[in-house]
Chains A and B, each alone.
Chain A
Amino acid sequence: MSEPGSPVVARRGGSRAVAAFVGNPLSVLGLVIVVVIVLLAVFADFVTPFPDHVGPIGDFAAMSAAPASPYVLGTDAMGRDLFTRIIYGYRLSLIMAVVVLAIATPVGVIVGLVAGYKGGWTDYILMRITDVFLAVPPLVLAMAIMGFLEPTLMNGMLAITAMWWPWYARLVYNVTRAEAQEGYVLAAETVGASTLHILFREILPNCWPSILTKMTLDVGFVILMASSLSFLGLGVQPPTPDLGSMVAEGAKYMPDGWWLSLWPALAILLVVLGFNLVGDGLREAFEAEN
């Protein structure tokens, strides 16, 4: 939809944005980290040296082996290759992050759009509900939800999703409130465009840059949150390889088995850092574009 005179969608192409992104070595570093991790996770079955160590059984001849070939990062108490399990942990984390965001984002976006555009009581009630969710420390809310559910992958994702959507509602709400007063929205109203059209075709496109930036950052932060839950034993259960539970499990063997916790811990740091660098780079790129 591009009626003449309606400055709606951000210009396509965005060569300046690309230049800004590529021009920042940190953003490029982040992109490299993200791409490598995603590729490793997707092709985990082919790139990991011991794919069968995903299960409960490893190499009994090399239990708690310090990092050395062929177990470059060492093995855990069951003799399972840490490198393999970290890659599979990445796979699980990424799946969780994608699922959580795929649900939380649309929910939050719709709540934010409707509350911001409709105003009045709709606005008041929806945003007070959002406030309630934002007033509980995120991890505590997710823990409480897990308290009434079985600790499974699905329920973990559900708990994180429940505490994630309000942030998108808040973000989109603020943009919508500002945009609803803009000339092009008023113009669309005057020519009798439907509410749906105004929300999704006129206002939403203006929210995309902030939503995309936030989603990129949030892939990292969902992984952080999920690993925190499983570190507490409230997430994915063994033997499924999960970065948070690997750190918790390894902490029992400190300091002699230092590698058991340290590598999964650094693995979490690396993936969150990667998505953060890309997210920051995206933000700067969108700013450069405008």
Chain B
Amino acid sequence: MNWTSIGKRLGAALVVMIGISMLIFAIARVMPGDPARIALGPNASAEQVAALRAERHLDAPLPVQYFEFLKALSRGDLGKSLYTNRPVTTDIAQFLPATLELCIVSAIVMVLLGLPIGILSAHFRGRMPDHLGRLVALIAVCTPAFVWGVILQLFFGYFWPIFPIEGQLMQSTPVPPHVTGFLLVDTLVAGNGAAFLDALYHLVLPATALAMSGLGQCARLTRSNMIEVYDKPYVEMERAYGFRPFRIATRYAFRPAFIPTLTILGLEFAAMLGNAFLVEKVFGWPGLSRYGVEVIIRKDLDAIVGTVLIIAAAFLIMNILVDILVGVVNPRIRLAAGRG
């Protein structure tokens, strides 16, 4: 993948991002009721409401408001949260890393478990391991993340208490100095191996719960794409030339099947960013969830818009990364880009 095509992808993402900002802006301003009144609550005085309206340009026509909003956005200003009384960017910078860390670990779990289940299913198509794999995948897909959270917590946190049920670290573990906000990274930077393991240990249950639905989807896609590939002439060639069946499954049939799977995994990551809200609530995870729910309940205008925009941006960036990865895995695209 070369720079031109990456640039093109970034351009397209920017267009979608502007669309998202318009959408969320429209939702925020067009909904019935006075946003300033909703934000301040029924007990605020008329002057307070008027002051807030003036401060947020709420009396200006919508396009002007949107322009003001964009102008602020271009300075990296997402406004002020009425809930924490801090800039929204500060809040997000505080809470986002824990959420991203959870999502990234979950994505790794999803791929590490989902792909093998799909490969085994396809390899043993129509036999016992396939039926088992499909059932596991189906149940994983059909169960909301919070249900997994509750079930895992109940069984592996309470009934058979081998994993912690809450938080990112044990009370006794010293919190490493803030460098990136990602605990796994910060503990390593601090050179504290025990704290790193503790952080990882705390991630097991929430990351598994969050990974489940993507994991099931990943297994199902891998299976169906591989079954399609198994009908290709080149797989017949590989069988006719005595390639080991296991090697065909894990290498020669897997790679062509993985390319279409990869594209969908980007979408699964998007769903994860949303579902993280559910899992964080179950495991008391100090991420964006509590903040997001809190600001939604409090009708905290700027904070809601900011949170949604950041999550959408994370999703778009993820999708561009996936596209680049597809280019690396698929030699046709890689070589075409290399020539162009």
Counting CB contacts under 8 A, is B282 at the interface? yes
A135 CA / B319 CA spacing, docked (Å): 10
Shortest distance from the beta carbon of A235 to any chain B beta carbon, whole Å: 12
Interface residues of A in 70-94 (CB under 8 A from B): none
Task: Rank and list the top 3 A-B pairs by shortest CB-CB distance, nearest first.
Answer: A139-B274, A137-B274, A255-B158
Tally of chain B residues near chain A (CB < 8 A): 53
Give the residues in chain B near A254, CB-CB below 8 Å.
150, 153-154, 158
Taking a contact as CB atoms under 8 Å apart, the answer to whether B146 and A228 are in contact is yes
A234 CA / B281 CA spacing, docked (Å): 13
- Looking at A10-18, A106-114, A260-268, the stretch in contact with chain B turns out to be A260-268
Taking a contact as CB atoms under 8 Å apart, the answer to whether B154 and A137 are in contact is no
- With contacts A128-B19, A139-B275, A255-B154 known, is A147 near B296, CB below 8 A? yes
**Which of B27, B33, B139, B296 has the most chain A CB atoms inside 10 A of its CB?**
B296
Taking a contact as CB atoms under 8 Å apart, the answer to whether B144 and A140 are in contact is no
Interface residues of B in 140-192 (CB under 8 A from A): 141-147, 150-151, 153-154, 157-159
Counting CB contacts under 8 A, is B237 at the interface? no
Taking a contact as CB atoms under 8 Å apart, the answer to whether A232 and B138 are in contact is no
Shortest distance from the beta carbon of B298 to any chain A beta carbon, whole Å: 9
Taking a contact as CB atoms under 8 Å apart, the answer to whether A136 and B151 are in contact is no
A269 contacts which of B35, B147, B277, B307 (Cβ < 8 Å)? B147
A265 CA / B149 CA spacing, docked (Å): 10
- With contacts A228-B144, A273-B138 known, is A143 near B24, CB below 8 A? no
A244 CA / B147 CA spacing, docked (Å): 9
B159 contacts which of A139, A248, A255, A276 (Cβ < 8 Å)? A255
Shortest distance from the beta carbon of B140 to any chain A beta carbon, whole Å: 10
- With contacts A146-B296, A228-B146 known, is A262 near B151, CB below 8 A? yes
Q: Write the chain B residue with the least CB distance to A280.
A: B138
Q: Write the chain B residue with the least CB distance to A159.
A: B27
Taking a contact as CB atoms under 8 Å apart, the answer to whether A273 and B139 are in contact is yes
Taking a contact as CB atoms under 8 Å apart, the answer to whether A231 and B146 are in contact is yes
Give the residues in chain B near A248, CB-CB below 8 Å.
146, 281
A269 CA / B140 CA spacing, docked (Å): 9
A143 CA / B292 CA spacing, docked (Å): 9
6 pairs of residues in contact across A and B, judged by CB atoms under 8 Å:
A137-B270, A139-B278, A145-B27, A224-B144, A231-B146, A262-B151
A250 CA / B31 CA spacing, docked (Å): 33
Taking a contact as CB atoms under 8 Å apart, the answer to whether A227 and B144 are in contact is yes
Q: Write the chain B residue with the least CB distance to A133.
A: B23
Shortest distance from the beta carbon of B314 to any chain A beta carbon, whole Å: 9
